[in-house]
Amino acid sequence: MKKFLGVLAVLTAATVNLYAHNQFIYTDTLNVTGKSSVPFKVIFGHPYHGGEDKPIPVGKVKEKTHLAEKVFAVHDGQKIDLTAKVKEGQLKTDKASGRTLDFVIDSELKGAGDWVIIAVPGLTVDDSISYSFNGIVKTVITKEGSKGDDWKKRVADGYYEIIPFTNPSMVNVNSVFKGQLVDKKGNPMKNTDISVNYVNGKLDAGKGTFTGKLQNEKVSMSTYTDDNGYFVLSFPHKGLWSIRGKAFVDREKKYVEDTSLLIEVK
C-alpha cells in the first residue's frame, strides 16, 4: 500500500506542468509602422496548442477579478503610464474562452522608434491546478525603424525581466537570439529555466480570437541560463513566440513568479 501511494504522489506531481504555462503580452505584429493604434492583450495559457488552447483567466483570484497592477511603456527613455487604460477582455479559442487584460496604445505612438511595453497583471490563480502565478510580461514595438537603446535596457525595476540582445521586432528565423534573465534587483539569474512557446494559431488581438494551428512540431522548447544569466535560442518558425523565465517556484505554497518576453520572428 505504501508503495502504491508513493507512485500516486509522483504521478500527481508530474501532471502539474508548470513549464508549459505561459502568461504573455500579445499584439499581432511588433512592427507598427503606419499604425496609429495598436491593441494589446495579456493572455495566459498554452499558446503552442493553437486554437485548441483553453485560456487561463488573467487577473482572477478565486471569484474576485482585478485589472492590472501596473502597465507602462518606455519610449526615448521616458516612462509612460498606461495602467488606467487597461480593460477586461476575452480570448475565444476553438475550444473555450478566457479572461484577458486589454489595452490600446494610440496617442502615445507619436514619433518613431521603439516602445518597450511592460505589464504587471497581478496575482492569478489557475483553478485547475490551484497554483498562484505572479508574472510580469514584456514586449517591444517598433515604428519606422528602431532608434536608440530602450529595447535593450533594464526597464522594469523591482521585477524579474528578460533583456534581449536583438530587438524583439527584428529576429530572423533560425538565427541566434541571445537574452539575459535578471532578478528583481537586476542581478543575473543563473541556471534558471527558460521555456519558449510558439503562438501556434491565428491570434487576432483586436477581435480576441485564437483559431487553428500553424505548425505540428517544434512549437515549444526550453533551455537554461548560464552563470551570468544568459541564454541562447534559435527559432524554427516565423511568427510570434513567448520566451518565459521561470524565476521563482514555491511548490509547498503552490506559488510561481515568472517573466516573459514576446518576440516576432521573420
Per the DSSP assignment, residues forming a β-bridge with 81 are 72
Taking the complex as a whole, the smallest distance from the CB of residue 258 to Cu ion amounts, in Å, to 12
Taking the complex as a whole, the smallest distance from the CB of residue 46 to Cu ion amounts, in Å, to 6
Residue 20 or 112: the one with the smaller Cβ distance to Cu ion is 20
Taking the complex as a whole, the smallest distance from the CB of residue 265 to Cu ion amounts, in Å, to 23
Q: How big is the site for Cu ion, counted in residues (CB under 5 A)? A: 2
Residue 20 or 214: the one with the smaller Cβ distance to Cu ion is 20
> What's the Cα-to-Cα distance from 111 to each of 148, 170, 257, rounded to whole Å?
13, 19, 35
Which three cell numbers, joined as nine digits, stand for 224?
537554461
Q: Using CB under 5 A, which of the segments 12-20, 78-86, 232-240, 245-253 binds Cu ion?
A: 12-20
Judged by CB under 5 A, the chain residues 20 through 79 that form the site for Cu ion are 20-21
Cα angle 30, 67, 80 (rounded to 5 degrees) comes to 50
C-alpha 182/C-alpha 133 separation (Å) is 18
Residue 20 or 61: the one with the smaller Cβ distance to Cu ion is 20
Taking the complex as a whole, the smallest distance from the CB of residue 179 to Cu ion amounts, in Å, to 22
Taking the complex as a whole, the smallest distance from the CB of residue 64 to Cu ion amounts, in Å, to 22
Q: What share of the chain is helix, strand, coil (3-state, %, to 5)?
A: 10, 45, 40
C-alpha 138/C-alpha 9 separation (Å) is 36
Q: Using CB under 5 A, which of the segments 16-24, 106-114, 227-235, 247-255 binds Cu ion?
A: 16-24
Neighbour count for residue 181 (Cβ, 10 Å): 27
16 binds Cu ion (CB under 5 A): no
> What's the Cα-to-Cα distance from 259 to each of 76, 181, 192, 211, rounded to whole Å?
23, 9, 12, 25
Residue 126 or 183: the one with the smaller Cβ distance to Cu ion is 126
Question: Which amino acid is present at 111?
Answer: G
Taking the complex as a whole, the smallest distance from the CB of residue 136 to Cu ion amounts, in Å, to 18
Per the DSSP assignment, residues forming a β-bridge with 136 are 259
Taking the complex as a whole, the smallest distance from the CB of residue 89 to Cu ion amounts, in Å, to 21
Torsion of CA 98, 104, 105, 107, to 10 degrees: -170
Residue 141 or 243: the one with the smaller Cβ distance to Cu ion is 243
Q: Using CB under 5 A, which of the segments 17-25, 81-89, 95-103, 212-220 binds Cu ion?
A: 17-25
- The residue ranges that bind Cu ion (CB under 5 A) are 20-21
